Amino acid sequence: MTAVSTPSPRSTPFRITAVCLGNICRSPIAEAVIRDRATTAGLGSLVTVDSAGTGDWHLGHGADPRSLSTLASHGYQLPGHISRRIDADWFDGLDLVLAMDSMNHRDLLALAMMTDSEPDVRMLRSFDPELAHLEAPHPDLDVPDPYYGGRDGFGAVLKMVEAAADGLVRELPDRLNR
């Protein structure tokens, strides 16, 4: 990945939150990859990336060990991750909310309607240049939940997230200047 031109500084970092169901598989992978890609592009000090879930099944737990091992085997780090649940109060402080699948997207849009803010809620894979022509919700934009599958599913999730993260990071300078 090549560095992108650095935008004008903002008074606060651009806040991105990746969201899946339980915040132990997909969204932690997205958090680590997007943070890494933004840092590599020279935007790390201008962007904060975190993650959350729409459900509370795994609140307070660490990331799934298969997520962590997949990330580590590809050079990514996610130290100290603890799963959290997104709340409507979060939207005021977020610039971009990334849903991992259509169900998460629907839930996030419903949650956003409970606020006075107008958060930018997108499906993560809509940033993948190969899929940018699709409109959410679309099944091809879903990052499938690997929780009940084997280790291969986590590798497939990582590849999808990497493609989308590259597209997102290419767009970040424009978003930072808004």
Question: Residue 26 catalytic?
Answer: yes
pTM of the predicted model, to two decimals?
A: 0.93
- Is the pLDDT at 2 greater than 70, yes or no? no
CATH topology of domain 14-176: Rossmann fold (3.40.50)
Give the per-residue pLDDT at 119: 84
Residues 6+ apart with CB under 8 A from 112: 88, 91, 97, 118, 119, 121
Q: Which of 101, 107, 128, 145 is catalytic?
A: 145
Is 25 among the residues known to form the active site?
no
Q: Has residue 9 got a pLDDT over 80?
A: no
Q: pLDDT tens, 53-89?
A: 999 999 999 999 999 999 999 999 999 999 999 999 9
Q: Clarify whether 20 is annotated catalytic.
A: yes
Report domain extents, the chain: 14-176
Of 25, 26, 35, 36, which one is the catalytic site residue? 26
pLDDT at 5 over 80: no
Measuring CA to CA, how many Å separate 163 from each of 49, 63, 123, 130, 143?
17, 21, 13, 9, 12
Mean pLDDT of the chain: 94
- Shortest CA distance to 10 belongs to which of 116, 98, 112, 95? 95
